[in-house]
A and B are shown apart, each in its own frame.
Chain A
């Protein structure tokens, strides 16, 4: 049963990063100068994100609900130790959702207010992605101390440092990369297509750079990533595969196979997450007092049972509806009336 729940958490996180992440990435892209393409780019992003962003955002809520129902100790430990980053995340989520919707539905579309929405949307996307990375990096540093009550050690030390920051930057680059790749297929305008491709190239380079930075920064940690990786050959294989896929990616880009490029880029991100799971599984958190594993911290079986049941029955409704949503809006020729 716990296995099923862990799979659900993993899958939700993956889908959140791929789908929700690309929505954040779109906001980050809008921060960059676009010259005369600015308005056209805004339209494309409005139409690409509009129908799906609320659904994409729900994966995060699903994770929160599974955690607090199924793994209450993990949830409460996180929410106490990472109170400040969580708060930062929430502020970002609120501002981003509001700015994006307001921009589209403002009855009076004038330059100044539209500009304000766009800047807020972009900055909050950047901000939220950064904190998401910082939170992810803080889970396994072995610094969270559930018993600490001294202000610095309890509420700052768990997420402070160059390593979480590097992971945050990495997440920002990945999101922007995913968004550029996905956006190529959202427009028919040749110069916009070209712009998104160029951005994808830039962010591809940045992802590699930021990834390297994460490795270097991790040497300041208790256990650096290189040494952890060397212990685990599976991990090396996963990361090597992710890097190799860049070749496939740009091959498909050159052949203009939109769908395949999207799949390969998603596959790369999935592999990076997989590498992360492999590195720490089955632990959800590594605290200063030892790891908290999904298998030891689970709720009573009666609860887990109900949770699994709810998730499975929910999936019966949710997956077909999501499929329909994406078919209507994302597949060429899908259900046009």
Chain B
């Protein structure tokens, strides 16, 4: 592995790790607050048990999110000094607001976790809600930094140097709205459905039925609503990508030749050598319609770009297909969920569907980030700075990569082990 590849792998691995805990940190506190609210209103001890159960989850997962986030803020410099050199002053602003939000989040979580008998119940409840709000806001800010990498704004590029820097314009770049909308929904969807799925599974196994059914309902209201909205947000993202980064869109769709009345290919594998799609189902005109709202619009293909400016087509295409497939399946599940809620009873097979969806949202998040980040290649700042020019001069990056893989794998194993112990104690406490 050469140093560039190792650095990219390290970045991808540490972000891919962090984003799971970040999504949890943006969603779980809300679930917890709803349960806590219901307890304070109805005084039903089951809701208190649920609040405390979720709170312990939040505490464990938040700590992992916090330490992996700290690693990231260093890695921006450790891996990409050539990027931060330009980008720091331009996109530091969302990071500084994100930092403010984290600070408040860290304070709020301390107050909530340890403040049970030190504050009046509603003040205490508010601190729990604030954990969610500040986490959610920080997620919105940090995506602005990523949006800027996709749609650079707020500076003039003169002879390879950034001048007339305007951090406000940079923060309000054109990729931010669609990316943060889509990402925040993704967090709600993935975590809502994952929590719902876990409780559905415990319910099906006959563990603590009352608690698990209540938990399922709270989690799925959020998860299922977000699942239904997500394809629309994804469509908006697609339209923006068509406009801002045609090469990324072409790679996502395996669209090699610029054409009018372009077909949408469902599934299939792009073959870069022959520049064709194999085994896909073609839906004529649909790509033009989706990207430009016109069946006959021209969709730019990869042929408009020199070969060295192509992103890795296969990876981007497959990741995109995975995300869309999951998005469609989960949207369907979301609709069914509300239908069964209106009928007042969940059939067992549907609960198994919910269980099956539990890991899918997380997979879609990872796939979505692969689309965004790998689809931006070979640029680290789209159209301006190449990734290879931004990488650190430090040799032996492969050891850095190996170190973090080992460290994070240990952390992941320990986290899963701990969460399993939590669930086992639920069974003991609330009966089988």
Q: A-side interface residues toward B, CB under 8 Å?
A: 47, 50-55, 57-58, 60-62, 64-66, 68-70, 72-73, 75-76, 78-80, 83, 86-87, 89-91, 93-95, 97-98, 100-102, 104-108, 149, 151, 154-155, 299-300, 302-303, 306-307, 310-311, 313-314, 317-318, 321-322, 324-325, 328-329, 334-337
CB of B102 closer than 8 Å to a CB of A: yes
6 contacts between A and B (CB under 8 A): A61-B70, A70-B89, A73-B85, A93-B70, A314-B97, A318-B100
Once the chains are docked, how many angstroms separate the CA of A314 from the CA of B117?
29
Chain B, interface size category, equals 35 or more
Contact of B77 among A68, A100, A313, A321 (CB under 8 A): A68
Interface centre among B70, B92, B414, B418 (most CB of A within 10 A): B92
Once the chains are docked, how many angstroms separate the CA of A53 from the CA of B107?
9
Once the chains are docked, how many angstroms separate the CA of A108 from the CA of B423?
11
Give chain B nearest CB distance to A137 CB in angstroms.
19
Q: Look across to chain A and name the residue whose beta carbon is closest to the beta carbon of B408.
A: A94
CB of B111 closer than 8 Å to a CB of A: yes
Give chain B nearest CB distance to A93 CB in angstroms.
6
Once the chains are docked, how many angstroms separate the CA of A101 from the CA of B114?
13
CB of B274 closer than 8 Å to a CB of A: no
Selecting from B164-172, B295-303, B308-316, B370-378, the interface stretch reads B164-172
Contact assessment for A303 and B59 in the assembled complex, using a CB-CB cutoff below 8 Å? no
Contact assessment for A87 and B400 in the assembled complex, using a CB-CB cutoff below 8 Å? yes
Once the chains are docked, how many angstroms separate the CA of A50 from the CA of B88?
33
Contact of A93 among B67, B90, B97 (CB under 8 A): B67
Once the chains are docked, how many angstroms separate the CA of A87 from the CA of B96?
23
A-B contact count (CB 8 A): 212
Give chain A nearest CB distance to B193 CB in angstroms.
24
Selecting from B237-245, B359-367, B390-398, the interface stretch reads B390-398
Contact assessment for B92 and A303 in the assembled complex, using a CB-CB cutoff below 8 Å? yes
- The interface residues of chain A lying within 8 Å CB-to-CB of B67 are 93-94, 97-98
Main secondary structure of the interface of A (DSSP, over half): helix
Contact assessment for A337 and B119 in the assembled complex, using a CB-CB cutoff below 8 Å? yes
- The interface residues of chain B lying within 8 Å CB-to-CB of A80 are 81, 392-394
Interface string of B105-127 (1 = CB under 8 A from A): 01111110111011110000000
- The interface residues of chain A lying within 8 Å CB-to-CB of B85 are 72-73, 76
Contact assessment for A94 and B393 in the assembled complex, using a CB-CB cutoff below 8 Å? no
Interface centre among A75, A95, A311 (most CB of B within 10 A): A75
Give chain B nearest CB distance to A323 CB in angstroms.
10
- The interface residues of chain B lying within 8 Å CB-to-CB of A91 are 403, 407
Q: Look across to chain B and name the residue whose beta carbon is closest to the beta carbon of A304.
A: B89
Q: Look across to chain A and name the residue whose beta carbon is closest to the beta carbon of B399.
A: A87
CB of B64 closer than 8 Å to a CB of A: yes
- The interface residues of chain B lying within 8 Å CB-to-CB of A307 are 92-93, 96
Once the chains are docked, how many angstroms separate the CA of A334 from the CA of B69?
32
CB of B74 closer than 8 Å to a CB of A: yes
Interface centre among A69, A104, A302, A322 (most CB of B within 10 A): A69
Interface centre among A73, A91, A104, A306 (most CB of B within 10 A): A306
Once the chains are docked, how many angstroms separate the CA of A60 from the CA of B60?
21
Contact of B118 among A97, A98, A318, A335 (CB under 8 A): A335
Contact assessment for B107 and A302 in the assembled complex, using a CB-CB cutoff below 8 Å? no
Scan residues 382-432 of chain B and give those whose CB is less than 8 A from a CB of chain A: 392-395, 400, 403, 407, 411, 414, 418, 421-422, 424-425
Contact assessment for A107 and B421 in the assembled complex, using a CB-CB cutoff below 8 Å? yes
Scan residues 166-186 of chain B and give those whose CB is less than 8 A from a CB of chain A: 166-168
Give chain A nearest CB distance to B128 CB in angstroms.
14
Contact assessment for A54 and B110 in the assembled complex, using a CB-CB cutoff below 8 Å? yes
Contact assessment for A105 and B60 in the assembled complex, using a CB-CB cutoff below 8 Å? yes
Once the chains are docked, how many angstroms separate the CA of A107 from the CA of B81?
42
CB of B99 closer than 8 Å to a CB of A: yes
CB of B66 closer than 8 Å to a CB of A: yes
Once the chains are docked, how many angstroms separate the CA of A104 from the CA of B63?
12
Contact assessment for A51 and B59 in the assembled complex, using a CB-CB cutoff below 8 Å? no
Once the chains are docked, how many angstroms separate the CA of A91 from the CA of B399?
13
Give chain B nearest CB distance to A322 CB in angstroms.
6
- The interface residues of chain B lying within 8 Å CB-to-CB of A94 are 67-68, 70-71, 407, 411
- The interface residues of chain B lying within 8 Å CB-to-CB of A68 are 76-77, 84, 88, 92, 95
Contact assessment for A61 and B73 in the assembled complex, using a CB-CB cutoff below 8 Å? yes
Contact assessment for B102 and A50 in the assembled complex, using a CB-CB cutoff below 8 Å? no
Contact assessment for A337 and B117 in the assembled complex, using a CB-CB cutoff below 8 Å? yes
CB of B346 closer than 8 Å to a CB of A: no
Scan residues 111-170 of chain B and give those whose CB is less than 8 A from a CB of chain A: 111, 113-115, 117-120, 165-168
Contact of A314 among B84, B100, B168, B424 (CB under 8 A): B100
Give chain A nearest CB distance to B399 CB in angstroms.
9
Contact of A303 among B90, B100, B425 (CB under 8 A): B90
Lowest 8 A-B CB distances belong to which pairs? A69-B92, A79-B77, A299-B89, A314-B100, A101-B63, A76-B81, A51-B110, A54-B106
- The interface residues of chain A lying within 8 Å CB-to-CB of B70 are 57, 60-61, 90, 93-94
Contact assessment for B88 and A69 in the assembled complex, using a CB-CB cutoff below 8 Å? yes
Contact assessment for A107 and B111 in the assembled complex, using a CB-CB cutoff below 8 Å? no
Contact of B103 among A58, A78, A106 (CB under 8 A): A58
CB of B278 closer than 8 Å to a CB of A: no
Contact assessment for B111 and A51 in the assembled complex, using a CB-CB cutoff below 8 Å? yes
A337-B59 contact in complex given A57-B66, A318-B100, A321-B104, C-beta closer than 8 Å:
no
- The interface residues of chain B lying within 8 Å CB-to-CB of A93 are 67, 70-71
Q: Look across to chain A and name the residue whose beta carbon is closest to the beta carbon of B171.
A: A306
Contact assessment for A302 and B165 in the assembled complex, using a CB-CB cutoff below 8 Å? yes
Give chain A nearest CB distance to B137 CB in angstroms.
11
CB of B78 closer than 8 Å to a CB of A: yes
